[in-house]
Amino acid sequence: MSENILVRFAPSPTGWLHVGNVRTAMVNYLFAKSMGGKFMLRIDDTDRTRSEAQYEAGIHEDLEWLLAAKPDVVKKQSDYFARYEEVKQQLIEAGRLYPCYETAEELDIKRKMLIGRGLPPIYDRAGLTETAEKRAEYEAQGRRPHYRFKLNPEPIVWDDMIRGRVEFDGSKLSDPVMFREDGVVLFTFATSVDDGEMGITHILRGEDHVSNTAMQVQIMEAMGHKIPTFGHMALLKMKEGKISKRVGGGDIRSLREGGAFPLVLASYLAKIGTSDSIELAASMNALIEGFDIKKFGRSMANYDSEELERLNQKYLHHLDFAEVQPQLAARGMGSIDATFWEAIKANLTTIDDAKDWWEVLHQPITPVVGAADSEFIAVASSSLPLGEWNEASWDALVNAVKEKTGRKGKELFMPLRLALTGREHGPEMKTVFALLGRDRAEKRLKGEAA
């Protein structure tokens, strides 16, 4: 345990958080808390043209909803533009950052020529050999330089918390661009400054950042910073065509709006890609106590929204009314009481399904009876079972009507559903019939609004 551990989650406010982003946040949060450390949210808003306030606000909302806690530290990279410029000048003076005047088209031609010759598309460092006169000529033409970091031709090695020993040959990497022609600082540079100066001890992120890490190691060394401990997780693979229509798709906003519960999503994201079985956690503290970064494998993890839906349904079925009442009220279902909730919750997939039950059972509906079914419904009206009224009453009615009319399948069930609910689809009829009660069921079968 160490209170000195500090991790960071650094999303860009250019869209709603995706499950892949939030999984990274979840793993960082659980790791930090399991070690007695702190979790930083750092907004990567260096690209001012694409960053939007609504997405930044959404990042805060979604994380607090999921983690049931605020970040220990909050930073914004846009607050550090002046510092990035200072470090830029320091590295220029040290000979590790240099200007390049090639256009995007010229660089593309160079890459294609190298590939055509069977060579790796590594930048040729032409910018290092430009004379002052040539640079002045470019400036007079209106060209502005982008700046690259000069990598040392030496092995770059680190012990990855998930991947084990990782090694790159610095001589085979292309000098990365750190500042664009318009002066905008790029991810790897800003991140290296921040991680070093903010004291980030551990960096857990997707394996798509492995090559960025190789560059970041040398950049941070050039800045004189202590190198954090890195861990690169296998990416999520979302099954094509498997987005749940019940609990939403790949972004957290749609999952929230679709009725997913935060502990369900947290339980799922904390376990996919690990050696643990996926099951509902008792609490966020239980997830923290059971977290172990060593359980993460290197194989790509499958994100299955249908499995998430099943977990959500299981959780929903065990919720007491007091736990769900605020969400019901927020969704315009404040009239639902504890008795009604206990009667229907076992039949729900998401909390929004409760609205269908409420409308069918507690709002007057106009029965739908086609001309071809009027005699059939009249038979049903006269066949209502006697005695105690419960879910078995539906089976009794269906069997009686089937015997008297000879109907079966859709021709039997659909007219009854339309007469009793006014809809072709909806809640399970056995439960609807029991909750309607004899009087209201009889009125609807007689064509009366009830």
Q: Give tens-digit pLDDT for 141-172.
A: 999 999 999 999 999 999 999 999 999 999 99
Percent of the residues in the chain that have a pLDDT greater than 90, as a whole number: 67
Determine the topology of domain 364-445 in CATH.
Arc Repressor Mutant, subunit A (1.10.10)
State the amino acid at position 190 in one-letter form: A
- The two beta strands, 38-43 and 177-179, are unpaired
55 Cβ partners below 8 Å, 6+ apart?
A: 13, 14, 15, 16
CA distance 340 to 324: 12
The torsion angle over the Cα atoms of residues 411, 415, 421 and 422, rounded to 10 degrees, is: 120
Percent of the residues in the chain that have a pLDDT greater than 70, as a whole number: 97
Task: Please give the pLDDT value at position 358.
Answer: 85
CA distance 161 to 164: 6
What is the per-residue pLDDT across 176-211, written as a single tens digit (0 to 9) for each? Answer: 999 999 999 999 999 999 999 999 999 999 999 999
385 Cβ partners below 8 Å, 6+ apart?
A: 393, 396, 397, 400
Task: Please give the pLDDT value at position 242.
Answer: 39
What is the per-residue pLDDT across 262-275, written as a single tens digit (0 to 9) for each? Answer: 999 999 999 999 99
Task: Please give the pLDDT value at position 331.
Answer: 86
Separation of CA 365 from chain center:
39
Q: Pick the closest to residue 348 from 392, 310, 322, 308 (CA basis).
A: 310
State the amino acid at position 371 in one-letter form: A
The pTM score is: 0.84
- CA distances to 229, 234, 441 from 307, rounded to whole Å, are 33, 19, 36
Task: Please give the pLDDT value at position 239.
Answer: 66
Task: Please give the pLDDT value at position 240.
Answer: 56
Q: Pick the closest to residue 262 from 335, 351, 355 (CA basis).
A: 351
Residue 248 pLDDT greater than 70, yes or no: no
For residues 133 and 87, is the Cβ–Cβ distance under 8 A? Answer: no
CA distance 305 to 294: 25
What is the per-residue pLDDT across 307-358, written as a single tens digit (0 to 9) for each? Answer: 888 999 999 999 999 999 988 898 888 888 898 898 889 888 888 888 888 8
The residue ranking higher by pLDDT, 124 or 423, is 124
For 180-199, the DSSP string reads: -TT-PBPHHHHHHHHHHHTT
Helices 438-445 and 374-381 pack at an angle, to 10 degrees, of 160
Domain ranges across the chain: 81-233, 364-445
- The two beta strands, 97-100 and 146-149, are antiparallel
Residue 403 pLDDT greater than 70, yes or no: yes
204 Cβ partners below 8 Å, 6+ apart?
A: 7, 24, 27, 28, 31, 161, 230, 231, 232, 233, 293
- Name beta bridge partners: 146: 100
> What superfamily would CATH give domain 81-233?
HUPs (3.40.50.620)
For 33-94, the DSSP string reads: HHTT-EEEEEE----TTT--HHHHHHHHHHHHHHHSS--SEEEEGGGGHHHHHHHHHHHHHT
